[in-house]
Amino acid sequence: MRLSPTDWRNLTLSALALAFVACLPWLVGNYGLSIGVTIVMYTVLATSWALFSGPTHYISLATAAFFGVGTYVTGIGIEYLPYWTLLPLAGVIGAVLAALVGLATLRLSGVYFVIFTLGLAEFIRQVITWGQNVSGAKGIYVLTSITEAHIYWQLLGLAALVYLLGWAIGRSRLGFALRIIGDDEQVARHSGIHTARAKILLFLVPGSVAAITGAILAPRYVYIEPSLAFTPMLSFQVVIMALLGGTGRLWGPLVGVIPFTFLWEGISITVPNQTTLLLGVSFLVIVYLLPKGFVGLFGAIRRRMGSEGLV
Amino acid sequence: MSAVLSLRGVTKRFGGLVAVNAMDFDVAEHEVLGLIGPNGSGKSTTLNLISGALPVTSGAIALRGSPITQLPAQDIARRGIARTFQLVRLLPSMSVLENVMAGAVFGHRRRWGYEAEAVAQTMLEQVGLAGRGHMAVGQLTYIDTKRVELARVLAGEPRVVLLDEWLAGLNPTELEEGVALIRALRDEGRTIILVEHVMDAIRSLCDRCVVMASGTKIAEGTPAEVLADPEVIRAYLGDDDA
């Protein structure tokens, strides 16, 4: 793979930005760091979500399912396995689960996929609740010496991986195939693209990444139970943030995550019961004003300035 | 003369309706075969069966002797049968060049990177769109969208090209250009199946014609022969004129 000077410049700038945000734990207090963790967590989830849902236009609400499975991998596994094996293990389990979901649903399109992914999180949650009722245990305590800063750095590392992966996919035949599928699936098939395989392959990415994210965050919760680990709110937040930023570019979800997280925090502090309202209003804003997210808005502004000879 | 593509007893039923009934024909290498007949006679359905857009109810289709009857569309495309659509289908979010690259990257001969781009550029030149690769597909005129689709099909270097009413809807000037373009493909030695209504084009382009009526083959031969056949005239015009 040959890299152009622009690629090298972008890579260097990204590495510098990463190094800078990695210093956050020394720059801000506990509250600032906890917001940092939230931002990086949603950046990872929304970016990996957009890698699949952006080109294919399949709205997946399965984030909570994969995330919850990841938290339970850490919750249960921490007693029997060394911590460093848990993250790759969560990634593999997430990928296998995504492959199964993909095989079962990606041949169908549109609404069926959305409903199935929403039901999946609920289904797994019920299975675990049932397991707890049978065994008599309620939640699981995850007691570790892992600090908030450790979680933050792990998430940053995962974010870097997701961006590299997204960049590599964008330059690959798989990325091109998915853009074609997103435009016209019939043309894709008649051009020789194995559409089902391409979609399943890419669906492994958000599945695996969300499971690893859950595994990283489990120690932060200390006590995990199904209603917390599999909350459907997580899936909706990820979708809203990614769409608000825009799925057309790799960095799109990030510009949705940052303002949304601060708004969410602000509302949680002042009027804590109105967070659902924020979700609803954001959704309306996306549908009516920003169908292509902030990315589309930036593009439109740049075009307008360009046509007036300002750029 | 060996058959590149052969159909034997190919039948398609939609419930009780037999859309294509026991079609038999061969297409030889470098041949342009016209598939003609009145509206609703099953021409486009036959094309959809060959390209794998619809599953075959019974019968067999073979490409150079190997069966492709039950293969999904993407495998048929990879083996070398590429098609255009009756209603032009382009990729709206991509540039003209990227549209054509889709064929070069995933078609019968698969290429990637600079090589795929070079092939796509050559194909654009061939269909008369040199220098317009950067344009958005929304900016194109109707005949140019058809050219892009043709270039995408050719970019994969298919063994057989299926053109589904590629000349339909063109004005007289465009029609002349279109016929000249397909004649150029024919002179290159491409193997083509043409579903068409434009009689002048059929006369000047086709080596052979297969005529369909109500899903059944009613005649086969040179354009002059089949167009003089009383049964073909009856199928098109009704009993009184035959």
Q: What angle do CA A110, A113, A115 make, to 5 degrees?
A: 110
- Of the candidates A180, A182, A190, the beta carbon closest to that of B51 is on A190
Residues B59 and B3 in one domain: yes
Is the separation of the CB atoms in B123 and B102 below 8 Å?
no
Q: What is the pLDDT of residue B71?
A: 94
- Return the residue of A nearest to B75 by Cα: A192
Alpha helices in A136-225 (DSSP H): 148-170, 173-183, 185-190, 195-221
The DSSP symbol for B109 reads S
Is the separation of the CB atoms in B185 and B206 below 8 Å?
no
Q: What is the pLDDT of residues B54-109, one digit of tens each?
A: 999 999 999 999 999 999 999 999 999 999 999 999 999 899 999 999 999 998 88
Residues B101 and B202 in one domain: no
Containing domain of residue A175, as a range? 5-307
Which chain B residues have a beta carbon less than 8 Å from that of A182?
93
Domain stops at, among B104, B122, B157: B157
Q: What is the pLDDT of residues A136-177, one digit of tens each?
A: 777 788 888 888 899 999 999 999 999 999 999 998 999 999
* Torsion of the alpha carbons at A40, A42, A47 and A49, rounded to the nearest 10: 150
Q: What is the tally of structural domains in chain A?
A: 1
Domain stops at, among B130, B157, B184: B157
Q: Is A242 within 8 Å of chain B by CB?
A: no
Q: What is the pLDDT of residues A192-207, one digit of tens each?
A: 999 989 999 999 999 9
The DSSP symbol for B108 reads S
- Return the residue of B nearest to A171 by Cα: B113
Query: Can you tell me the distance from the alpha carbon of B109 to that of B159, in angstroms, rounded to the nearest whole number?
Result: 10
- Return the residue of A nearest to B88 by Cα: A187
pLDDT, mean over chain A: 88
pLDDT band at residue B227 under the 50/70/90 scheme? confident
- Of the candidates A173, A184, A191, the beta carbon closest to that of B112 is on A173
Residues B225 and B183 in one domain: yes
Is the separation of the CB atoms in B70 and B150 below 8 Å?
no
Strand B81-83 and strand A140-141: the pairing is unpaired
Query: Can you tell me the distance from the alpha carbon of B231 to that of B242, in angstroms, rounded to the nearest whole number?
Result: 8
Rg (CA), chain B: 18
Judge: B102–A190 Cβ closer than 8 Å, yes or no.
no
Which chain A residues have a beta carbon less than 8 Å from that of B87?
none
pLDDT at A307 over 80: no
Q: What is the pLDDT of residues A1-19, one digit of tens each?
A: 567 888 888 888 989 999 9
Query: Can you tell me the distance from the alpha carbon of B172 to that of B136, in angstroms, rounded to the nearest whole number?
Result: 26
Judge: B91–A180 Cβ closer than 8 Å, yes or no.
yes
Residue A196, both tokens: 């089902």
Residue B188, both tokens: 């290159």
Is the separation of the CB atoms in B196 and B165 below 8 Å?
yes
Query: Can you tell me the distance from the alpha carbon of B118 to that of A17, in angstroms, rounded to the nearest whole number?
Result: 37
DSSP secondary structure, A89-136, as one string: HHHHHHHHHHHHHHHHHTTS-THHHHHHHHHHHHHHHHHHHHHHHHH-
Instruction: Single out the residue of B192, B77, B91 nearest to residue B145, CA to CA.
Output: B91
Residues B164 and B71 in one domain: yes
Residues B197 and B163 in one domain: yes
The DSSP symbol for A33 reads H
Residues B4 and B116 in one domain: no
Q: What is the pLDDT of residues A48-105, one digit of tens each?
A: 999 999 888 888 999 999 999 999 999 999 889 998 899 999 999 999 999 998 888 8
Q: What is the pLDDT of residue A114?
A: 87
Q: What is the pLDDT of residues A234-279, one digit of tens each?
A: 999 999 999 988 888 888 899 999 999 998 888 888 887 877 888 8
Q: What's the gap in Å between the CA of B75 and the closest CA on chain A?
A: 6
Bridge partners (DSSP) of residue B82 are B161
What average pLDDT does this structure show over A19-42? Answer: 91
Q: What is the helix (H) or strand (E) element at residue B6, kind and residue range?
A: strand B3-14
Is the confidence metric ipTM above 0.95 for this complex? no
Domain stops at, among B97, B125, B157: B157
pLDDT, mean over chain B: 91
Hunting for tokens 């064929």 — which residue is that? B103
Judge: A183–B51 Cβ closer than 8 Å, yes or no.
no
Is the separation of the CB atoms in B128 and B161 below 8 Å?
no
Single-letter residue type at A81: L
**A294 or B62, higher pLDDT:** B62
Residues B132 and B235 in one domain: no
CA-to-CA separations, B225 to A292, B179, B208, B233, in angstroms, rounded: 58, 21, 9, 11
Residue B131, both tokens: 């220098």
pLDDT at A311 over 50: no
Q: What's the gap in Å between the CA of B21 and the closest CA on chain A?
A: 24
Residues B231 and B182 in one domain: yes
Q: What is the pLDDT of residues B190-217, one digit of tens each?
A: 999 999 888 888 998 999 999 999 999 9
**A159 or A131, higher pLDDT:** A159
Residues B55 and B93 in one domain: no
Q: What's the gap in Å between the CA of B110 and the closest CA on chain A?
A: 10
What is this structure's pTM? 0.87
Single-letter residue type at A125: R
CA A287 to chain centre: 20
Which chain A residues have a beta carbon less than 8 Å from that of B152?
191
- Of the candidates B83, B105, B112, the beta carbon closest to that of A190 is on B83
Q: Is A299 within 8 Å of chain B by CB?
A: no
Percent of chain A exceeding pLDDT 90 equals: 45
Q: Read off the CATH number of the domain in which B218 is found.
A: 3.40.50.300
The pair phi, psi for residue B82, each rounded to 5°, is -120, 150
Neighbouring CB atoms inside 10 A of A182's CB total 18
Bridge partners (DSSP) of residue A141 are A223
Containing domain of residue B103, as a range? 87-157
Helix A252-270 to helix A275-288 angle (10° resolution) is 150
Q: What is the tally of structural domains in chain B?
A: 2
Hunting for tokens 């043409």 — which residue is that? B194
pLDDT at B53 over 90: yes
Residues B238 and B164 in one domain: yes
**B212 or A112, higher pLDDT:** B212
SS3 B110: coil
Residues B148 and B221 in one domain: no
Neighbouring CB atoms inside 10 A of B26's CB total 18
Q: What is the pLDDT of residue A112?
A: 83
Contacts of B233 (CB under 8 A, 6+ apart): B227, B241, B242
Q: What's the gap in Å between the CA of A308 and the closest CA on chain B?
A: 21
The pair phi, psi for residue B122, each rounded to 5°, is -60, -45
